[in-house]
Amino acid sequence: MKILVPFHLVSPSPWPILASLQLFNTVFMTAMKFNNINTSNFIMMLNLMIMIFISLNWWRDIIRESTFENRHTKEVLKGLKLGMMLFITSEVFFFISFFWAFFHTSLSPDIFIGQIWPCKGIKAFNPMAIPLMNTLILLSSGISLTASHHFLMMGEVKKAKNYLFMTILLGLYFTILQYIEYIEASFSIADSVYGSTFFMTTGFHGLHVIIGTLFLLICFIRLTKNHFSSYHHFGFEAAAWYWHFVDVVWLFLYICVYWFGK
């Protein structure tokens, strides 16, 4: 007797175990590099390229399951949505740890940093310069992405693509401005606890912006290939959730690190 289940049991795939092994290998090699153990740059790049290759093939199979095999039923989508929400929740706590470190040192600076914040010898960024511009860029990108999602649900694919492309450009613009800000910085990550908390927090946020931009770029490509419809586009929604999360983190970062911490 055949038992029907309301969820999709994935077919055997080599990518999960290969990704796990390769991720372990990459982290292990990176730790060796950080501890000044002789590690070939070629091996490091090779590990990274293999990891990217595995990820791309895994994601390709998931897109095939969703688009061509029609295996992402309502029950499967519930699981995917729950997984994405849990992932974003884990990211929230990831950034909470950085904000915790920032406030722990800034609200009660000890004698080792001159009992002042920013630390003695540190010239903080002007919050009305590049940081304000980046804030306007991310807020604008959130609006354009929401408009793109709206037009997709209305079935107007051309307008959805235009607004999504605008969001991708704004994400690239943000990354370029942050790169310029880092170049012009008068301090480094090694300059006291201020430099460490500043570059760790803004750097990881910048990395999330880059990942989010790539996420949206994949959605744009899939949109041009008609992978999404007005009622079946969770890949797009997941990218939108992630991007809005990045926007909210930046608002807290701008207020706390750039304004409060100046």
Q: What is the pLDDT of residue 195?
A: 86
- What span, in angstroms and rounded, lies between the C-alpha atoms of 157 and 177? 30
Confirm if 80 and 62 have CB atoms less than 8 A apart.
no
Q: Is the pLDDT higher at 74 or at 133?
A: 133
Q: Give the up-direction half-sphere exposure of residue 231: CA atoms within 13 A in the CB hemisphere.
A: 2
CA dist list (Å): 106 to 10, 78, 109, 205, 235? 49, 42, 5, 20, 40
* DSSP letter, residue 4: P
Report the half-sphere exposure of 16 (CA within 13 A, side-chain side). Answer: 5
CATH code of domain 15-71? 1.10.287
Query: Could you read off the pLDDT of 36-75 as tens digits, one per residue?
Result: 777 778 888 888 899 899 989 998 988 888 888 777 878 8
pLDDT value for 210: 95
Across the range 78-82, mean pLDDT stands at: 88
Is a pLDDT exceeding 90 seen at residue 12? no
Q: CA-CA distance, 28 to 30, in Å (whole number)?
A: 5
Q: Report the mean per-residue pLDDT for the chain.
A: 88
List the chain domain ranges: 15-71, 76-260
Give the pLDDT score at 77.
Answer: 84
Is 3 a residue whose pLDDT tops 60?
A: no
pLDDT at residue 244 in the model = 96
Return the pLDDT at 35. 80
Q: Which of 10-14, 225-229, 255-259 has the lowest mean pLDDT?
A: 10-14
Query: 15-71 with 76-260: one CATH topology?
Result: no
- Return the pLDDT at 120: 75
Q: 116 and 109 in contact (C-beta within 8 Å)?
A: yes
In this prediction, residue 104 carries a pLDDT of 87
Rounded to the nearest 10 degrees, what angle do helices 234-253 and 192-224 cross at? Answer: 160
Which pLDDT tens digit goes with each residue over 179-217?
999 998 888 888 888 888 999 999 999 999 999 999 999
| pLDDT at site 84 | 93
Q: Is the pLDDT score of 152 beyond 60?
A: yes
Q: What is the pLDDT of residue 126?
A: 86
pLDDT given for residue 8 in this prediction: 64
Is the pLDDT at 122 greater than 90? The verdict is: no
Per-residue pLDDT, averaged over 228-256, amounts to: 91
Q: What is the predicted pLDDT for the residue at 185?
A: 86
80 has pLDDT over 90: no
Q: Residue 217: what pLDDT?
A: 95
pLDDT of residue 203: 93
Residue 1 above 70 pLDDT? no
Q: What is the CATH number of domain 76-260?
A: 1.20.120.80
Count helices and strands in the chain by DSSP H and E runs: 7, 0
Closest CA to 213 of 156, 158, 125, 144: 144
How many C-beta atoms surround the C-beta of residue 65 within 10 A?
A: 16
pLDDT confidence bin for 4, thresholds 50/70/90: low
